Structure formats: C-alpha cells, structure tokens
Structure 1
Amino acid sequence: MWRLFFVIMLFPIGSKAQKFSADEAKEDIDVLYHKMQQVHPGLFRYQSSEAYQETYLEIKTSITDSISEADLFLTISPLIYQIKDLHTGFSHPKKWRKKHPFKLPFIMAEVEGKNLIQYNAAADTTFLRGLELLEIDGKSIESVKDLLKTNIGTDNGNEAAKQLYATKTLYAYYPKFFELKDSVDLLVRNLEKDSVMNYRLATVTTKQMGAVLARRYPEKIRKNLSYTMIDSTLSLAKIDVTSFEFKGSPFDLFQTKFKRKFKQHIKQAQKDSVEHLVLDLRSNGGGYIPNISKVMKYVASEPYKLIDTMAFNRSAYFKIFSPAKGITPLIAPLFFNKKDSIYRYRATGKPAKKKPSKLAYKGKLYVFMDAASYSATTFTISLLDDMDRATFIGTIPGGANWGSHAGSWYVAKLPNSKIRVRIPEYRIVHARANKPNESFFIQPDISVEYTLEDFDKNIDSYERVLIEKLRAD
C-alpha cells in the first residue's frame, strides 16, 4: 500500500472536488468488497482470498479523514486491478464525467523505447507526428505510465497488455487518474534536431477527437469487416475484424449483418483465388460471442464447439436473474443444471458438432494479434490454435487462453461516491479438445516489433513481416 499513498502524495488530484467523510468512504469500500465477493465468478482465480481481504482492510483503515472523489477513485483501485481481470472495471459517476469531458489531444505509440506522438488531434498543427513525449503537466511520461499500468487489471497481470493500454490509450486513461483541464502543458523532444520544446495544447472531447482524426488520417481508420488485397503477386489478402459487434440496424438483434459481411469477403477471397488470407484482429476488444461462430464457420478446418463450461456464483443468482426478468429465474436452473458449493454451471461435455461451411476458406490462414486483442477475439484465437488452423503473427493477446470472466455484467453503484463498478457475471471456459493444457497466453509463431524505420516510413510492421516471410519461402 505504500506505493499507492506515495502516488497520491506525488500526484494530488482534485483538491477542490466534492469530498466524502471517512465514514462515507469506508461504506463505499465495504459495499465494493462485498459486491465483488457476491458476484464476481473469478475473484480468487489469480489471488488468494487472504490477500484480497488484506488489501481491503489496509485501504479501509488508511482512511482517517475526508477524501475527494478523485482520490477515493484511486484509493479503491487495488480492489479492482488486484483481481487481474480486464473485464472488471470501474468508472467515475456520470455527474463527474460531465464536469471532466476532456481527453489528451493525441494518440501515442511506443517505438524502440521512445514514446512518440503518432496522431495529432490538437488544433495546433505544428505539434508534429514523431515528437517524443517527455512530460505531461510537469510529470514525466514514465511516471504517468507506471501509475496507469499499476491501475489496469489485465488478465493474470498481462504486462504486454498493461504496456499497450497505458501507451496507446493514454489519451483516455490519463483523465481517469489525473486532473485534466481545458489545456495541457507538454514537454517534447524533436529527435531530428535533438531539441526540447514546450507546447500548451487545448484538450478535446471524445467527439472532437474522433472528428479531427477522421479528417486528418482517413487512410489510417480501420473499417470493421473490410476486405483488402495486400499483395496480388503473393496472393495475399486480409479481412479486417476490428470488433465482434456489427449490426445492420438497431433491430438486427442477432447481428446477422456480421455473418453476411464476413461470408461476402470469404466468397471474394475464393473468387480472387487467395492463397494466403489474414484475419486482422489487432486491437479488437471483443463483442458479441455468437459472432465467433460466424467467423469460425468460414475458416475452421474441423468441427468445433465454442464453450466447454459456463458458470456463475450461486450467491449472485438473484443479481443475474432478478425477479424483474419474469420467468428467467425459474428456467435458469434448466440451463445451468449442475452445481457445487460455489458455482451453478453448465458443462457441455459433448463432442464438437458445429461444422465448417462448404464455403469455408481452405488456404493458408494467418492471424494478426496484439496485446489489445481481447475477449471474443482471444476466444477466436484460442479455437484456431486448438485446431492448428493458423499462423499467429504479432505478440501475445490480452486475454487468457483458458477463457474469461464475461458474458454479461452487473453494475454496482457505490452509495456515496456513485462510482460505478462493472463486475462480470459468468466464467466462460473455451472448448479446447486438442490442447487443453497449452500456455496461458497464445504465443505468436512470428513475433513483430514496431521499428523506428517502420514508424518514419508509415509501414505496417505486421504486413512487412508477413510479406518478407512469404517472399523468403
């Protein structure tokens, strides 16, 4: 806990914000701790109950005076990140977010150990791509990233995911833990001139940022479920899947458009006689689980099933299946028909019965993945790995090979601060019949490193590495 209090003293936040008495803060901590125990299906998968209780007591006893909402937010963070589950999260209350709408006006990339400005969303166009970021409002970028990495609860403490999120999504994570006003002071280095300079930039809202980036970098926007011929001479094409969410309309409840688009691209790949097909799953955070099967149907090489086991805490029964949901609480036991002392669960135990389509792509398959490939994406990667169907290119994904805590979420609002805590309701175990005991994270067959040369020349490192491999073969 000493590290937490050192951080709060070093980077005080929100001193003029609303304050809560010690008793109010402790009540919020009690509610958070007990909700986690009641609902979370994997609370002690990566930690012991004793360690979690110790953290809870240390945090609670440390509060002896009134505390601001921002400081309370940081103080309770260990009760979230110590679970080591990226599906478990928390956010400031709606009222707070309305008063603090600003984001940092840039997206950053770490390249060969340097934190470089990759995309500029600021009004000041002299804030150039390639500048090395050194400080934000007087705080070194490394100290900022260290705090963010500490407060991101990735699956089993996935360090690659912590590093990527603290860098690539710095613009969004920073204002969650540091006070960000309508402008920000930055210290940067121009690498070409080896000179240091200061910038004061206006901060932006999420909407403003999206509009500016779309206007300035249209060629860098990845369109979900798009098809591209990367290199016709190598017969190399790519289907970009940036999300497992894709609705044709608000009434497309089962996301049938996802299947239509993916099937359309598979047909196009067949028409183009594509010999090497890439599924680009980089930075795909997941989405609608049934869409996994809509992908697997057209790329699988053998029959498959998705889920081995799905379970939830028995103590969370009426949180998940509330009486307000009609007959759901009565019929849920018919689906979750097994139980032990902790869980009610469903174990399929049956052979794989989902078969690849007759249209399924049978050529060589490659998967681009990074540490932000998560949830339904990791699920898909895991199934492909189990059947040795693809060559994996990049880094380890963000999610665990065995499965995840996901499906749906219970949102607890803490009584005084109104901080919202997002708690997964289910434990979902991937169906891995061939390799049930493989490594915790899927390992890449071909590793990729983003180089300064790639950055300077605007080269896609993943495509470069794959093209080099195919040409060498």
Structure 2
Amino acid sequence: MKSIQYILLFFLPISFLACGTAKDSFDPNKKYSSAKLKSDYKIFRNVLEESHPSLYWYTPKDSMNYFFDYGYAQIKDSMTEPQFKTLLSYVIAKIDCGHTSVKYSKQYTKYLDTAKLRTFPLALKFWPDTMVVTMNLNRRDSILRRGVVLTKINGLSPSQLTDTFFQYIVTDGYSMCGKYQSLSTGFAFANFYSNVFGLTDTFNIHYLDSAGSEKETAIPVYDFKADTMNRVGVTKEQLSGKRKKAPPHFAFFASSNLQLDTTGGNAFLTLNTFDRNNHLRKFFKKSFKALDENHIKNLVIDVRSNGGGDAGISTLLTRYLIDKKFKLADSLYAVTRKSKYDHYIEKSLLYNTMMFFVTTKKGDGKYHFGYYERHYFSPISKHHFNGEVYVLIGGNSFSATTLFVGALKGQKNVTVVGEETGGGYYGNTAWVIPDVVLPNTKLRFRLPRFRLVVDKNRDKDGHGVMPDVPAPPTVGAIKKGIDFKAEKVKDLIESGNSVSR
C-alpha cells in the first residue's frame, strides 16, 4: 500500500502541472485555416443529411441545400471558434428544429466560465416591435432603468434587430414566441449582439422618456475587469442567457416547489424542469397527496421556464391530471440505426445498441419505436386532481413540457394561460440527442435521432401550443416587475371563470 501511495504522490503533482499547462495553452482567439473549417463543415452537413429525421420537415430540400451551400461559400478565410459557431448557427437554424443547435467546444465553454469579457450592458425584453430594459449592469446609469423602452440601438430598430438575430436562433417550426423569449432570457441579447455585430466602445441608444418623447444617449461597453465596484450582482446563468431556476419556497426540491393556500383552496406548482435527476417522481407523489388532503380546488402549474427533460417524468405528471387514456406518439421513428460518422458522435455505441433493441424497421424504411406508438397511458387514480387546472406557458416551454401541455389542452377543467410555447404542438425531433464533435474545431452540435408526431390529427402548422387565455407582456408590467401571466390567472380564479372548450 505504501508503495502505491509513493507512486501517487509522485504522479499527482505532474498531473496537476499537466492540467495547468493545458489550461494555460488554450487560446480562445485561435484561428482555424479555411481548409480545416471546410473539412468540419462537410462533416456537419453530411451528418445532418444522413441522420437527422426531420431535416426537411419545415424547410424544403432545395432550400436547405441552398443554405448549406451558402454557409460553405462563406468560408473564405480563417476563423476563430466563435466566428465559425456563428456561421453554423445561422445554417442550423434553418432546419426549424429547437433540439438541433450548435455548442462551443468543451475547452471554449470552460474558458467562458471564468472569462471576464466585455459585453453590451443591457438585458432586454422583446416582443413584436418592442424592446424594454429589464436590467442594466451599470448601476450608476440613472436613465436606462428597468421598464425604459428603447427605439434604436446603433441605428437599428427592434424589428431590424430581431429580424437579424432570429436567423441564428433555433426553435420548433414557426414559433416566433420561442425566438422572442430566447432573445429575452438573461443577457442572451448581449451575446448575440457581440457574436453577430461585434462590440464597439460605445452604443448609441434611442429611448422614450417618461413623457413618451424620444431621446438619445450613449452608453459604454461594459468591462467586468475594469468595473468591479459598481456592477449589479448578476449570475452566470443570466449572463449566458440560460434559464434560471426559481428558488424554492415551500419546496421539496430546488427545481420545483409547491405553495398551498389552504384558506382559499388554491395551490401554485412551479416546475422548471422534467429532468430525471431532480427526484420529481417523489415530489409529485407528495404534492398530489397534499393537494388531496388539503381539498385544493384550483391548481396553477407554472411551466414557463421548463425547457423539458425526461418524457417519462412529464407523462407521470400528465397522468395525475388527465381524464382519459392517452398516447405519447402516433409515430416515433429514426431514419438510421447507426452512422458512418459514428466516430464523431458521442456515446454512439451506447445509442446504437439501444436503437437495435427498441426499434423495428418497417415498410416505410424507418426504424420505429413501436412501444410508444402502441402504448396507452392511463390516469393515476390515487390522489388524482379533479379540480380546476391553470397551466402557465411561454416561449421557454419546450420539448417534454409541450407534450405535457398539449395532452391536457382542451380538457374541460384545464385552462392554458400565457403565450405560445417554443416547442411544437404537432410534434418534435428529439428523444435521443447525442452531441457530434467536429474534429478540427471541436465545436459540437446536437443531433436528435427520432422524429415524434404526437397526434397526426393535429394541425401541422408549425406552431406551439397556443394559450386558451393570452397573457402578453406590457411595458407597465415590466417596469413594475409584475408577473402579468400569474396576475391573469389570479383574475380568472377570483372571477370563478375558466375557458369553456
């Protein structure tokens, strides 16, 4: 044992030194030659054309070919990793699949975790022809505070900015609400602005003052290294534009919480994920028992920040609420079981083995996941909730969350409130989603392997789940920090109204 300890003591400092050297040697500004970029791009295109089951679902083949060719033609010189990622993001967004997106290499992602990069200082909320300040990193700025409406940034109007950035944002089908919400989450706008336009030392801002008159001001780029005393406290998730998980109140777990108003007979259930690692099965069991024992009449379920997760978990929640048997899918299939590019696909052996055992090739040449095409799920009888249900949705409601909301929509005791989901109502492309790693730049992109059609009788119009009661944002609500969707539900409960369907 001692000899092993001596060996470990000898090698550990070397391993730490090696790790430190590798970290120090990473150059985020490294440029890749056009030859290497073109090689990566060909793999990017070939993998998608071979294995993506819905490449032409919303965009015809000739149009996708045009975008693929256009992207390749832009590789005229060397590029940095962010520049190449921006190019791939432009092309991949044309698929109109929210599960197919481009990610930085693992090394660059680690670099961003600690890098203090200059940035556009404002977080903004967008909806058609409108952009409103929600946060300002410079707390000394007395003009551009929360709720101030901006009319131009460096000469570009809200519609010009969204028309540009939407070209790089993935969503299911034609859900514009999903794109508006993606641009409005945290400091996502700042990231898009930097990647697409680049940063200037100052930004010319046109805004509306309290009297509604248009005014003009200039603000500097925000430098985290220079300003350590006056910045607003901002989390890493906000800066990256990732969804922030709500803090627990009367919570069992941090990603979910249940609040009970036993006097009024109301409950508010927040679910920010359907991830299988969040102990949600236990949480649901305890929650619905509490709803039953406390004779709750009105249940509000907030899934506005829920980007999805495990469809088995979302199905379990559905079973506590739905009043009939239901299927997850009319069809669920892949176009290939394995790929000739498997050496670029992470965990390909695991996924290929799984697909061999769970899929069957049918007459259409596709590999069908027959269990989910045949199986009907039944409502859970014990502690089943039969009162009024109000489901809060928005552009960040995606994937398994859309399956949950879509299954309940139209039920007589369910009212869906908010804005269109970012996830498709007719179906999506997901289920198994490995990363593909490009060999030269190490950029990664997500490759969904299955195409899911929930219900072939639903309209295939490219939209998400639409609310029964719309609750769009307003400037006044943003300025006052009012949760306008929750207020709409409160009004419905107090008036005793739900939407008749």
For Structure 1 versus Structure 2, the TM-score category normalised by the shorter chain is 0.7 to 0.9
Aligned mates of 1:140, 1:74 — CA distance in 2: 22
2:268 to 238, 245, 254: 238
Determine if contact 2:150/2:208 at 8 Å carries over to the other structure. no
Shift of 1:277: 0.9
Q: In the TM superposition, what are the counterparts of 1:89-108 in structure 2 within 5 Å?
A: 89-97=101-109, 98=111, 102=117, 104-108=120-124
User: In structure 1, the residue corresponding to 2:327 is in which secondary structure?
Assistant: coil
Q: In the TM superposition, what are the counterparts of 1:13-412 in structure 2 within 5 Å?
A: 17-97=29-109, 98=111, 102=117, 104-110=120-126, 113-122=129-138, 124=140, 126=142, 128-133=145-150, 142-168=159-185, 169-180=188-199, 185=203, 187=205, 189=207, 191-192=209-210, 194=213, 195-200=215-220, 202-203=222-223, 209-210=234-235, 221=246, 223=248, 224-229=255-260, 232-233=263-264, 235-245=265-275, 247=277, 255=278, 257-314=279-336, 316-317=338-339, 329=352, 332-340=355-363, 342-348=365-371, 349-350=373-374, 352-385=376-409, 390-412=414-436
Aligned mates of 1:387, 1:138 — CA distance in 2: 48
Aligned mates of 1:294, 1:330 — CA distance in 2: 26
Pick closer, same or farther for the CA change 1:135–1:271 going to 2, 3 Å: same
**1:224-258 residue CA offsets vs partner (Å, 9 max, x unmatched):** 3212347954x3321011111263xxxxxxx5x21
User: In structure 2, the residue corresponding to 1:354 is in which secondary structure?
Assistant: coil
Task: Give percent identity, aligned residues only.
Answer: 20
Shift of 1:138: 7.2
Quote the residue 1:9 is aligned against.
Answer: none
Quote the residue 1:4 is aligned against.
Answer: none
**1:137-164 residue CA offsets vs partner (Å, 9 max, x unmatched):** 7766554433211111221132222222
Aligned mates of 2:365, 2:287 — CA distance in 1: 44
Determine if contact 1:301/1:356 at 8 Å carries over to the other structure. no
Letter in 1 for 2:361: K
2:475 to 444, 452, 455: 452
Pick closer, same or farther for the CA change 1:415–1:449 going to 2, 3 Å: same
Aligned mates of 1:288, 1:303 — CA distance in 2: 20
Shift of 1:295: 1.0
Shift of 1:260: 1.6
Shift of 1:70: 4.1
Shift of 1:124: 4.1
User: In structure 2, the residue corresponding to 1:418 is in which secondary structure?
Assistant: coil
Determine if contact 2:301/2:392 at 8 Å carries over to the other structure. yes
Pick closer, same or farther for the CA change 1:101–1:296 going to 2, 3 Å: farther
Determine if contact 1:117/1:133 at 8 Å carries over to the other structure. yes
Answer with 68-77 or 78-87: which moved more: 68-77
User: In structure 2, the residue corresponding to 1:279 is in which secondary structure?
Assistant: strand
Answer with 324-333 or 420-429: which moved more: 324-333
Determine if contact 1:308/1:347 at 8 Å carries over to the other structure. no
Letter in 2 for 1:377: T
**1:327-369 residue CA offsets vs partner (Å, 9 max, x unmatched):** 8755643420233465211234535243323111110111111
1:418 to 430, 437, 442: 442
Quote the residue 1:13 is aligned against.
Answer: none
Pick closer, same or farther for the CA change 1:74–1:110 going to 2, 3 Å: closer
Pair 1:461 & 2:478 matched: no
**1:263-309 residue CA offsets vs partner (Å, 9 max, x unmatched):** 32223323332211111111211112221123123212223333443
Pick closer, same or farther for the CA change 1:63–1:108 going to 2, 3 Å: closer
Shift of 1:24: 3.0
Letter in 2 for 1:245: D
Q: State the number of aligned residues.
A: 441
Aligned mates of 2:438, 2:375 — CA distance in 1: 44
Pick closer, same or farther for the CA change 1:245–1:304 going to 2, 3 Å: same
Letter in 1 for 2:162: K
Determine if contact 1:382/1:401 at 8 Å carries over to the other structure. yes
Determine if contact 1:38/1:315 at 8 Å carries over to the other structure. no
Aligned mates of 1:88, 1:111 — CA distance in 2: 24
Pick closer, same or farther for the CA change 1:232–1:417 going to 2, 3 Å: same
Determine if contact 2:124/2:189 at 8 Å carries over to the other structure. yes
Pick closer, same or farther for the CA change 1:436–1:19 going to 2, 3 Å: same
Determine if contact 1:303/1:356 at 8 Å carries over to the other structure. no
Q: Which runs of 5+ in 1 are unaligned?
A: 1-15, 248-254
- How high is the TM-score relative to the length of structure 1? 0.80
Determine if contact 1:104/1:203 at 8 Å carries over to the other structure. no
User: In structure 2, the residue corresponding to 1:416 is in which secondary structure?
Assistant: coil
**1:416-448 residue CA offsets vs partner (Å, 9 max, x unmatched):** 333222221222333x49x54586532211111
Aligned mates of 1:154, 1:212 — CA distance in 2: 20
Shift of 1:186: 6.3
Determine if contact 2:338/2:352 at 8 Å carries over to the other structure. no
Letter in 2 for 1:210: T
Aligned mates of 2:418, 2:48 — CA distance in 1: 34
Shift of 1:86: 1.1
Pick closer, same or farther for the CA change 1:381–1:213 going to 2, 3 Å: closer
User: In structure 1, the residue corresponding to 2:374 is in which secondary structure?
Assistant: coil
Shift of 1:394: 1.2
Pick closer, same or farther for the CA change 1:128–1:469 going to 2, 3 Å: same
